[in-house]
Amino acid sequence: MKKHVTEFCKRGLMASCGGPVILAVVYFALGQAGIIRTLTPGEVCKGILTVSLMAFIAGGLSVIYQIDRLPLTGAIFVHGGILYLDYILIYLWNGWLGRGKTPILIFTLIFAVGYAFIWLMIYFSTRNNIEKLNRQLNQK
């Protein structure tokens, strides 16, 4: 377990370095949409810290796939669920997402479709690589 916690922290710290970049993209998009015009120093600090935390959790969470006792399907649901909570809570806390049913439903739908799409890309890419390696092994 200690190995997984250490790996979580290592991956999380590497990912959290991208937090301010993610924040810049979010603030840019909110500015372009006319949702925000100016930010207070407190809002900027809160944004940097919360997005860095979000990136830390998201980056470190990939360690879930290394836990041998957890089947892949379970790992996918745990990973997706924690990632969803991570994102939606940070977005709500920072006021980047409306608190009504519609914004949360739209966010949930976009998250689910995006998560499934990324997983399908990873699945098919991995499957193709395995098939290619098996063909190479069978030729020798």
What is the C-alpha to C-alpha distance for residues 13 and 55, in angstroms, rounded to an integer? Answer: 8
Instruction: Report the predicted TM-score, pTM, of the whole model to 2 decimal places.
Output: 0.77
Per-residue pLDDT, 84:
97
What is the C-alpha to C-alpha distance for residues 58 and 88, in angstroms, rounded to an integer? Answer: 12
Report pLDDT digits (tens) over 75-106: 899 999 999 999 999 999 998 888 899 999 99
Q: What are the extents of the domains in the chain?
A: 1-97, 99-140
